[in-house]
Structure 1
Amino acid sequence: MGGVGEPGPREGPAQPGAPLPTFCWEQIRAHDQPGDKWLVIERRVYDISRWAQRHPGGSRLIGHHGAEDATDAFRAFHQDLNFVRKFLQPLLIGELAPEEPSQDGPLNAQLVEDFRALHQAAEDMKLFDASPTFFAFLLGHILAMEAQSWCLQHDLGHASIFKKSRWNHVAQKFVMGQLKGFSAHWWNFRHFQHHAKPNIFHKDPDVTVAPVFLLGESSVEYGKKKRRYLPYNQQHLYFFLIGPPLLTLVNFEVENLAYMLVCMQWADLLWAASFYARFFLSYLPFYGVPGVLLFFVAVRVLESHWFVWITQMNHIPKEIGHEKHRDWVSSQLAATCNVEPSLFTNWFSGHLNFQIEHHLFPRMPRHNYSRVAPLVKSLCAKHGLSYEVKPFLTALVDIIRSLKKSGDIWLDAYLHQ
């Protein structure tokens, strides 16, 4: 048996019918290195060291849960659990010893149990079932207003519209490639990491933005090390110049193209090329080459402003730092907040003002967030967790306040430590 004690030689896959070796968390903790990854799902221990490179969501996404209990993340991201468990079976090497808790560290076991009951209640209420009418209307709306097409591709990426994930994938390629000019694989690669480990440096691409901006704990680190690549105490001012205007125009364009070429995503490259061909051929007869280029820049800058303000008002003002190995619920609540719902806010944000519900249940269609929200509030109240809801304008201003606060912390550490 694996038993409690020093880790022994690497275990092979468990043999069918044979008793499973048992492991303690101390042994499992040792396997969180590049090329050596174990994780726990439903109290079973899996060695994903070699298989991680074949993980459909990417090796980084599954690797971020190395040496952790990944049960809630596993259930949050996968639509057909029984189908996915077939791929896990050859990786099974043992199980947690009976005396070991399901989660490592001083975590709230009752919170974990209550959330799993809430998740089951949401399934029983069929809140993970999408409304075809809602998304048909949304598609028509998007075709008329392409700047809003992030909304549909976002849900397709979370595999929540069609029952068969294959059709979600095909539809996402069309919406992301033909309507936006981006790679669906690239978007899922970075966006799923954000959902798995929100606001965690080097695991969430959305907050790993140093040295351009300093957020959260990076402010003190850069200050203590006397790093001054930019005037960070003024970052709340230069944010307006290089943040919202340039994210999709420059950063996303470069990162997206590099990803498709390096990862050889030729199908995505063709989809993106079809977007640019359609865009330029449609407007070239009216505006000429300079006019089309100017129009393209204007569209990208406009959607970049929308994207940055809508997505970051829920995250940048919250806790940002290094991995703290929290349970699923606590990690999502520490990194997200909601914005007060209204007809305008729901429409303008594409229902992403319900960011807490979206992060707790990433596969849930957006039109059901308001229905599950009371259940989430009750869970938070029971366990004394903060369920933060802000007015829309306050949430936007808090982005700037948070950047200024981080810049001031950097300057203080830079001058006095």
Structure 2
Amino acid sequence: MGKGNQNTSSNEGNHSVKQHTWQDITQHDKRHDKWIVIDNEVYDITEWSKRHPGGSKVISHYAGQDATNVFRAFHTDLSIPQKYLKALHTGSLRADIKTADIDVDFQNLKENLTKMGMFKPSYTFYTLNILHVVVLDVLAYFVLRYFGTGWLPLITSLIFTVIVQIQSAYIAHDFGHTSVLGTKYKVDLFLERIFLGFMKGASAKWWNHMHFQHHAKPNVLKKDPDTRLEALFVIGDLMPTQIAEKKKNSMPYDWQHRYFPVIGPPFLFPIYFFFEVNRHIFTRREYLDIFFTLCYWSRYFYLYGPMLGFGTAIAFNFVMRMLESSWFMWVTQSNHVPMKIEEDDAKPWLRLQLNATCNVEPSYFNDWFTGHLDFQIEHHLFPTMPRHNLYKIAPLVKSLCEKHNLKYQVKPLFQAFTDVLKSLKKSGNLWKKAHTQFHGPKTHKTIYM
């Protein structure tokens, strides 16, 4: 991993501070003993991690490692967290330890992009996005209000509602990454609650807790929440063998490429997310999220209850969530599931993100359909960058990847979807082979495609 970046600490030039080697720092990666390195300075975050606004896990995932690039990636205004860092300072990285070229080049790219204004949002872009969500939300209601609840109005309203929900999620995603208002991050995070809570009945706190970990360590086993799928699926090349060795009785993972489209995308939101969101906000007493969630359901039943009746309104909402969930999961998993899924070996930021992420061929439709996650590589490298600028920086990112011999993958949309199934089939077969080796063959009859 790259060992530090240009020193910006107030301790620069102070020869009285303790000098540390990487051998010293890597020892402090325990639950009750955590050090991180930022800009060549060493910080003891053992107690602070419990109070970290972004959650204890996301910062703890870098214990014993260089956190410079992830620190800079997540914070739009560095002056705010640097105030807290002063009290946590425990020394400096030894001066003779050089920064890896890949990290130097990445930081130079980010500085150039900042000078180019790539982190400045277009308020016109975000205003139009919000307006198109509001217009479709109004239309979804008035289609039923004025044309009745027959099949055609019901399906039309359902389509509008699904679009409203998925596009609200994309807008909330931008607010959550503080991409819209930048240094006014508190306003961004409040508006994220509006679009996740009031518009969708979800929890911004729960989403950020999960999503920030994913960005910090994408496709890293035991650190990225999106890899904790063993109840239903195994992914990558390592996880299948690990699960096969650990569990004698488990899911028939060699069938997972068949049952994934049936039980995965359709039910992620209406069952798993619904349970996890409500468990999180009530057990952790997230009162603001509870308030916005109640606002969502009150608004929904006030508008749709009289027209549809309670039972039909519940069914309408459940079907809408299944369709929204399918849309969301195929888009998000196509960028990651077919990529490398590994244990944490402290890769440099650029290499970590390129190993775990691929792009989809851009088009006006794909930009809208994916919420600009067709530029997932650029988004993962610069999560606070407004999404309308991601296409502008793609050539520069690709050039940097070529310099460091990193594969910059771009796929057609439907190939990205089918690669998910191919990857699941490969992982399922690896699991079956390992399971047979450790426990003997499974009793179910497998039919191969």
If the TM-score is normalised by the length of the shorter chain, which range does it land in?
A: over 0.9
| Residue matched to 1:329 | 350
TM-score (norm 2): 0.86
Q: CA deviation at 1:96?
A: 0.8
The number of residue pairs the alignment matches comes to 397
Question: Which of the residues 142, 151, 161 maps onto 2:180?
Answer: 161
AA matched with 1:309: W
- 2:65 is paired with a residue whose SS is coil
Partners of 1:252 and 1:66 lie apart in 2 by: 29
Partners of 1:27 and 1:385 lie apart in 2 by: 30
| Residue matched to 1:146 | 164
| Residue matched to 2:359 | 338
Question: Which of the residues 189, 208, 211 maps onto 2:228?
Answer: 208
Question: Which of the residues 113, 119, 131 maps onto 2:122?
Answer: 131
Partners of 1:124 and 1:136 lie apart in 2 by: 25
Q: CA deviation at 1:412?
A: 0.9
- Kept in 1, the 8 Å contact 2:254–2:429? The answer is yes
| Residue matched to 2:42 | 45
| Residue matched to 1:289 | 310
- Kept in 2, the 8 Å contact 1:41–1:70? The answer is yes
Partners of 1:210 and 1:225 lie apart in 2 by: 11
Question: Which of the residues 212, 216, 222 maps onto 1:196?
Answer: 216
Partners of 1:22 and 1:96 lie apart in 2 by: 6
For the pair 1:318 / 2:339, whether they are aligned, the reply is yes
| Residue matched to 1:404 | 425
| Residue matched to 2:146 | none
Q: CA deviation at 1:321?
A: 2.2
- Kept in 1, the 8 Å contact 2:230–2:243? The answer is no
Question: Which of the residues 385, 392, 416 maps onto 2:413?
Answer: 392
Q: CA deviation at 1:17?
A: 7.1
For the pair 1:261 / 2:285, whether they are aligned, the reply is no
TM-score (norm 1): 0.93
Partners of 2:96 and 2:365 lie apart in 1 by: 52
| Residue matched to 1:172 | 192
- 2:91 is paired with a residue whose SS is strand
AA matched with 1:33: K
Structure 1 unmatched ranges of 5 or more? 1-13, 103-108
AA matched with 1:392: L
Per-residue CA deviations over 1:298-337 (Å, capped at 9, x if unaligned) read 1110110011000000000001121121000000000000
| Residue matched to 1:77 | 74
Q: CA deviation at 1:392?
A: 0.9
Q: CA deviation at 1:86?
A: 0.8
For the pair 1:21 / 2:18, whether they are aligned, the reply is yes
- 2:373 is paired with a residue whose SS is coil
Partners of 1:226 and 1:254 lie apart in 2 by: 26
Identical columns (%): 43
- 1:416 is paired with a residue whose SS is helix
- 1:45 is paired with a residue whose SS is strand
Partners of 1:298 and 1:29 lie apart in 2 by: 49
Partners of 1:60 and 1:186 lie apart in 2 by: 13
- 1:73 is paired with a residue whose SS is helix
- Kept in 2, the 8 Å contact 1:222–1:228? The answer is no
CA RMSD of aligned residues (A): 1.4
- 1:316 is paired with a residue whose SS is coil
- 2:199 is paired with a residue whose SS is helix
- 1:149 is paired with a residue whose SS is helix
AA matched with 1:380: C
- Kept in 1, the 8 Å contact 2:350–2:381? The answer is yes
- 1:130 is paired with a residue whose SS is coil
| Residue matched to 1:116 | 107
Q: CA deviation at 1:87?
A: 1.0
- Kept in 2, the 8 Å contact 1:244–1:309? The answer is yes
AA matched with 2:96: E
